Amino acid sequence: MTDGQTDLLDDLLWRGLIAHSTDLGALREALDAGPVTFYVGFDPTAPSLHHGHLVQVLTARRLQRAGHRPIALVGGSTGLIGDPKPNAERVLNPPEVVAGWVEGIRAQIEPFLGFEGENAAVMVNNLDWTAPMSAIDFLRDVGQHFRVNKMITKDAVAARLHSEQGISYTEFSYQLLQGLDFLELHRRYGCTLQFGGSDQWGNLTAGLDLIHRAEGASVHAFATPLLTKADGTKFGKTEGGALWLDPGLTSPYAFYQFWVNTDDRDVVTFLKVLSSRSREEIESLAAAVETRPAAREAQRALADELTELLHGAQERDRVVAASQALFGRGSLAELDAATLAASLAELPRVTVALGGTAPTVVELLAETGLSPSRSAARRAVAEGGAYLNNERVTDEQATVGEQDLLAGRWMVLRRGKRQLAAVEAVGG
């Protein structure tokens, strides 16, 4: 084994990317023996992956760059069922909807992996081997190897069994389907390693057990930790904090801003888990968090890298320019309409109808809440703390008009250095 392969496992451990594992010693021996074929799966339960999935996508990328062969599975069949949630039954989506989501998610994963060369990635859909299988074949060939008393110990299943709504047989059978995936990929491609999020650990071990019973072979698995916020809550689409990888659902600007606003307590962890930067670079950024927290060097490094990785350097440059321009360090007029609209989306907003009596800046400062009252707004103007499109307003009677519109639609109000609001012009 090369030093690079040896360093891979050590690097994963240093980054905190292995929350659970079957046998790290055995996995290291497998890596010593040569390239390993591994797989990671993604269920199409929404039209897009979210940023929690980046942990899996980027871990697969690390393994491939170290010389190992990835199989990316998008679950056309498991997506029809849904992994059991601990608190409620999933809504079953129509097959045609799930099929469309499969294609969209495949397209999101493909740019992160290489599909040429000796360790070229393979993209698969588990519907290909489950659809032709009859119910009798499934029960005889797969079900016979599972023990119900073990299945009910899985965390999500156990939680549902003790709840009022219980659990349907449909969701209860999910771990059989995921176990079958590992068995099929082991048979078809010689796959000997699966990884996934730590909430999938029970399903990962189900595949290990199935391969051991059906083939008499020993294979490997590890689980990555779930990304959590500083307050310990999970990132995910059902927790209200997800960033979608689809720019139509989460704009590149919002994606960038999320990472640049990362809590100091979280940013080093996120760099380790998501960044391709070296240990030395990350440790240097960690030191900056301790000694120069106001500079937010680590946050900007993380936001720059992930935004470029997902959306490209040109889009990254646009959102950085927008972020700077909003706070007076660049030209708002130079921003394109889409980036400007995205950058203003989360700000307090009022609408104005131009063409009649022109509203004053003082009125707008009060209406947007940047100032608690018109008298306070007048004081802000008098003290030099009010800005329209980054230009200081010095006249308490100053009005706004079409000449002030950015991209034909917007105006940006600022009070002081960091209090912002958007004014949207509508038909007069």
Mean per-residue pLDDT for 19-31? 93
**pTM for the full predicted model:** 0.88
151-182 per-position pLDDT tens digit: 888 877 888 888 878 888 888 889 999 999 99
**Are 78 and 31 in the same domain?**
yes
CATH code where residue 100 lies: 3.40.50.620
Give the largest CA-CA distance in the chain: 84
**Are 62 and 205 in the same domain?**
yes
Nearest alpha-carbon partner for 245 in 112, 385, 88: 112
**Are 45 and 184 in the same domain?**
yes
| 3-class DSSP state of 353 | strand
229 falls within a domain: no
**Which of the residue ranges 1-10, 207-216, 314-323 would you say has the lowest mean pLDDT?**
1-10
Confidence of residue 7 (pLDDT cuts 50, 70, 90): confident
Instruction: Provide the pLDDT for residue 168.
Output: 87
294 falls within a domain: yes
CATH code where residue 356 lies: 3.10.290.10
Q: What angle do the packed helices 297-311 and 252-260 form, to 10 degrees?
A: 150
**Are 141 and 56 in the same domain?**
yes
**Are 187 and 271 in the same domain?**
no
Q: What angle do the packed helices 297-311 and 279-291 form, to 10 degrees?
A: 140
**Are 84 and 11 in the same domain?**
yes
70 falls within a domain: yes
117 falls within a domain: yes
Domain stop point among 205, 224, 243: 224
Mean per-residue pLDDT for 93-108? 96
How many angstroms separate the first and last alpha carbons of the chain? 71
**Are 8 and 81 in the same domain?**
yes
The answer to whether 406 and 389 have CB atoms below 8 angstroms apart is yes
Mean per-residue pLDDT for 317-344? 90
**Are 331 and 396 in the same domain?**
no
155 falls within a domain: yes
* Domains identified in the chain, total number: 3
324 falls within a domain: yes
Query: Does 309 score more than 90 pLDDT?
Result: yes
What's the CA gap between 185 and 192, in Å, rounded? Answer: 9
Nearest alpha-carbon partner for 53 in 307, 205, 243: 243
Torsions phi, psi for 295 (to 5 deg): -70, -25
The pLDDT > 90 percentage for the chain reads 72
**Are 69 and 201 in the same domain?**
yes
Mean per-residue pLDDT for 27-43? 93
Confidence of residue 232 (pLDDT cuts 50, 70, 90): low
Positive or negative torsion for Cα 46, 51, 52, 53: positive
Domain stop point among 224, 239, 271: 224
The answer to whether 221 and 178 have CB atoms below 8 angstroms apart is no
| 3-class DSSP state of 386 | strand
Domain stop point among 297, 317, 344: 344
Rounded to the nearest 10°, the torsion over CA 226, 232, 234, 235 is -90
Mean per-residue pLDDT for 72-93? 88
Alpha helices by DSSP H, listed for 66-141, are 78-81, 95-109, 127-130, 135-141
416 falls within a domain: yes
CATH code where residue 269 lies: 1.10.240.10
**Which of the residue ranges 94-103, 216-225, 309-318, 354-363 would you say has the lowest mean pLDDT?**
354-363
And the tokens for 407? 């991209």
Nearest alpha-carbon partner for 130 in 91, 93, 183, 92: 183
**Are 257 and 148 in the same domain?**
no
∠ Cα 384 390 394 (to 5°):
30
What is the residue range of 159's domain?
3-224
234 falls within a domain: no
Query: Does 6 score more than 70 pLDDT?
Result: no
What is the residue-wise DSSP string for 126-194?
A: THHHHTT--HHHHHHHTGGG--HHHHTTSHHHHHHHTSSS---HHHHTHHHHHHHHHHHHHHHH---EE
**Are 337 and 366 in the same domain?**
no
| 3-class DSSP state of 313 | helix
Instruction: Provide the pLDDT for residue 1.
Output: 38
**Are 201 and 266 in the same domain?**
no
274 contacts: CB under 8 Å, gap ≥ 6: 54, 55, 58, 302, 305, 306
106-142 per-position pLDDT tens digit: 999 999 999 999 999 999 999 999 999 999 999 999 9
376-393 per-position pLDDT tens digit: 999 999 999 999 999 999
